[in-house]
C-alpha cells in the first residue's frame, strides 16, 4: 500500500504522531510519502520506503499572504499522480484535510480520485478551528473525508459538540514505541541534580495553553518542602513568562534548567521523577505518555483527554485546571514518599505499555484497508 501523509513538520504532538506512524508503516513495507513544508523533525529519511516532498511556496511581492494551501494541494495532486498513491492521511483539518479535498477534486478530473483519512489532533477542533474565520472550512473538510479518526474520546465528544459532523468518528488513541525507552545505563542524573534532590520536568511548545506559569509556581511550592530541580524542555511564546519569573525569583535561578529543544528528550525524561502538565486544553497529552514510557509519573490538570492517559492515584495525580495548590500538594506527597514514587513509576510504565505502538498500529492498518475497500 502507498500512503501519503500530510502533517506539520514541527516538534508538536501531531507531527510526532504522524512521523512515528509513517516510519512504523515504512518498517512494515508500506511506501510512505510525507508532504509537508519542511522535513518532519523526527523523520528518518534514510529508510528506503520513506519519501519526502517539500511544499514549494512561490513568494511573490504582490501577495500580502503567500498562498501555501494552493501550493499544498498542487503538491498533493502531483505526488498522488506520480507515485500512484492508494490513500491520503491528513493530520489536522487545517490546512491538510482542506487542501487534500481540493487535490481530490483535481484528481477526479483525471478519474484518479483517492480516499482521504483525516485525524483530528485537537488544536484544529478546540482552539483555532472554532474561530469564525475557519469554522465552516474545518467542518466541511472533516465531512468530506472518507474516514475520520480522533486521538481520544474527549476530542471526539468536543468535535461532535462544536461541529455538525455527518460521519462516524473512530477513536484511535495516540501511541508510544516503548522499545525506544530501553534501560539507559548512561543516563547521568548528576548532570541535573544532586543525589538528594528530585527532578521535576515540563516539556511543551510553551504556548499559553500549556500554562508554564503554573509549572513554575508548582515548582516554587514544591521546592520549599522537597529538595528539587526543575527542567523545562521546549521553546515558545511563553518563554518570556519564564524569564520574568526568574527575574522575580532570583533564588530559583540555579534550580531551574532551561534546555530549549533537545534531541535526547527520552533520555532526560528517564532521569526525571515527575512530569508536570497543568494544561488548559489537551486533546490527549502525548508528552505525558512519553513521560510515562520513561517511568515518570505525571501531575496534571484534568483537561480534555488527559484523564484517558493519566489515571488518578495510579500513574500520577490530576486536579482541576488552574488548581496550582492541589497539583503542588500532590507533587509534594509523591516526592516525599519513596515507596509511593517507586510504585507510581512502575504504574506509569505499565500504562505506557497499554498504549504501545504494537497495539495501535494494526488498528490504523485495518482502518486504511476498510477505507480503501469502501471507497
Ligand atoms: O499542543 C501541542 O503541544 C501541539 C499539538 C499539535 O497540534 O501537535 O498537540 C495536539 O496533538 C497531540 C497529538 O495528538 C496531542 O497529544 C495534544 O494533546 C494536542 N494538543 C492540544 O490539544 C492542545
pLDDT tens digits along 253-268: 999 999 999 988 999 9
The predicted-structure confidence for 44-96, as pLDDT tens digits, reads as follows 999 999 999 999 898 888 888 889 999 999 999 999 999 999 999 999 998 99
ipTM above 0.95, yes or no: yes
CB 125 within 8 A of CB 92: no
Same fold, 2-175+357-373 and 179-354: yes
Distance from Cα 13 to the centre of ligand 1, integer Å? 5
CATH topology of domain 2-175+357-373: Rossmann fold (3.40.50)
The predicted-structure confidence for 22-49, as pLDDT tens digits, reads as follows 999 999 999 999 999 999 988 999 999 9
Residue nearest atom 23 in ligand 1 by C-alpha distance: 282
Q: What is the pLDDT of residue 10?
A: 80
What SS3 state is found at 300?
strand
User: Cα torsion for 329, 334, 335, 338, to the nearest 10°?
Assistant: 150
Distance from Cα 268 to the centre of ligand 1, integer Å? 21
Per-residue pLDDT averaged across 236-249, rounded? 97
Of residues 128 and 280, the one with the higher pLDDT is 280
Decide the pairing of beta strands 87-91 and 2-6.
parallel
Distance from Cα 194 to the centre of ligand 1, integer Å? 33
CATH topology of domain 179-354: Rossmann fold (3.40.50)
Q: What is the pLDDT of residue 182?
A: 80
How far is residue 270's CA from residue 201's CA, in Å, rounded to a whole number? 10
**What does the angle CA 181 – CA 329 – CA 335 come to, to the nearest 5 degrees?**
40
CB 291 within 8 A of CB 201: yes
Name the residue among 99, 153, 95, 152 with its Cα closest to residue 129: 95
**How is the beta sheet containing 228-233 ordered, strand by strand?**
256-260, 228-233, 198-203, 274-277, 298-301, 316-319
Residue 347 makes CB contacts below 8 A (sequence gap 6+) with 297, 311, 314, 315
Cell of residue 76, nine digits: 498533493
Residue 266 makes CB contacts below 8 A (sequence gap 6+) with 180, 181, 184, 290, 293, 294
Pocket test of ligand 1: the residue of 9, 10, 157, 286 to mutate, having most ligand atoms within 8 Å of its CB, is: 286
According to DSSP H, which parts of the chain are helical? 13-27, 68-83, 98-109, 135-143, 153-162, 212-225, 239-248, 265-271, 286-293, 306-309, 324-335, 338-354, 357-373
* Residues in contact with ligand 1 (CB, 6 Å cut-off): 12-15, 17, 121-123, 126, 151, 174, 204-205, 209, 281-286
Q: What is the pLDDT of residue 335?
A: 98
- Give the residue extent of every domain in the chain: 2-175+357-373, 179-354
Residue 261 makes CB contacts below 8 A (sequence gap 6+) with 11, 233, 234, 235
Distance from Cα 107 to the centre of ligand 1, integer Å? 31
Per-residue pLDDT averaged across 295-307, rounded? 98
Q: What share of the chain is helix, strand, coil (3-state, %, to 5)?
A: 50, 15, 35
Does position 279 have pLDDT exceeding 90, yes or no?
A: yes
The predicted-structure confidence for 159-185, as pLDDT tens digits, reads as follows 999 999 999 999 999 999 999 988 766
Distance from Cα 99 to the centre of ligand 1, integer Å? 21
**How is the beta sheet containing 169-171 ordered, strand by strand?**
50-54, 31-36, 2-6, 87-91, 116-120, 147-150, 169-171
Cell of residue 136, nine digits: 465552516
What sign results for the dihedral spanned by CA atoms 131, 137, 139, 142? Answer: negative
Does position 186 have pLDDT exceeding 70, yes or no?
A: no
How far is residue 135's CA from residue 321's CA, in Å, rounded to a whole number? 26
Amino acid at each position: 500500500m502507498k500512503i501519503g501523509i500530510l502533517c506539520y513538520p514541527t516538534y508538536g504532538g501531531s507531527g510526532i504522531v504522524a512521523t512515528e506512524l509513517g516510519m512504523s508503516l515504512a518498517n512494515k513495507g508500506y511506501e510512505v510519502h510525507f508532504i509537508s513544508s519542511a522535513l518532519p523533525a523526527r523523520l528518518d529519511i534514510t529508510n528506503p520506503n520513506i519519501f519526502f516532498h517539500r511544499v514549494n511556496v512561490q513568494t511573490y511581492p504582490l501577495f500580502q499572504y503567500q498562498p501555501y494551501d494552493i501550493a499544498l494541494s498542487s503538491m498533493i495532486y502531483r505526488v498522488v499522480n506520480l507515485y500512484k498513491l492508494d490513500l491520503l492521511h491528513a493530520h489536522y483539518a487545517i490546512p491538510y484535510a482542506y487542501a487534500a479535498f481540493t487535490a481530490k477534486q483535481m484528481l477526479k478530473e483525471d478519474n484518479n480520485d483517492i480516499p482521504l483519512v483525516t485525524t483530528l489532533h485537537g488544536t484544529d477542533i478546540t482552539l483555532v478551528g472554532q474561530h469564525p474565520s475557519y469554522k465552516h472550512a474545518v467542518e466541511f473538510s472533516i465531512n468530506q473525508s472518507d474516514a475520520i479518526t480522533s486521538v481520544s474520546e474527549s476530542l471526539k465528544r468536543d468535535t461532535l459538540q462544536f461541529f455538525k459532523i455527518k460521519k462516524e468518528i473512530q477513536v484511535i488513541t495516540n501511541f508510544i514505541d516503548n522499545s525506544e525507552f530501553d534501560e539507559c545505563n548512561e543516563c547521568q542524573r548528576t548532570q541535573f541534580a544532586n543525589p538528594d534532590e528530585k527532578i521535576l520536568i515540563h516539556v511543551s511548545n510553551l504556548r499559553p495553553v500549556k500554562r508554564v506559569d503554573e509549572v513554575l509556581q508548582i515548582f516554587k511550592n514544591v521546592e520549599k518542602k522537597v529538595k528539587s530541580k526543575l527542567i523545562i524542555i521546549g521553546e515558545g511564546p511563553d518563554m518570556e513568562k519564564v524569564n520574568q519569573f526568574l527575574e522575580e525569583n532570583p533564588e530559583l535561578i540555579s534550580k531551574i534548567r532551561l534546555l530549549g529543544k533537545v534531541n535526547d528528550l527520552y533520555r532526560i525524561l528517564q532521569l526525571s521523577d515527575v512530569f508536570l502538565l497543568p494544561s488548559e486544553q489537551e486533546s490527549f497529552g502525548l508528552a505525558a505518555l512519553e513521560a510515562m514510557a520513561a517511568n515518570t509519573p505525571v501531575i496534571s490538570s484534568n483537561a480534555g483527554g488527559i484523564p484517558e492517559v493519566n489515571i488518578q492515584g495510579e500513574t500520577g495525580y490530576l486536579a482541576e485546571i488552574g488548581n496550582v495548590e492541589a497539583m503542588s500538594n500532590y507533587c509534594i506527597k509523591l516526592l516525599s514518599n519513596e515507596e509511593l514514587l517507586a510504585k507510581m513509576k512502575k504504574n506509569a510504565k505499565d500504562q505506557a505499555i497499554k498504549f504501545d505502538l504494537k497495539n495501535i498500529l494494526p488498528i490504523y492498518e485495518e482502518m486504511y484497508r476498510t477505507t480503501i475497500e469502501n471507497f
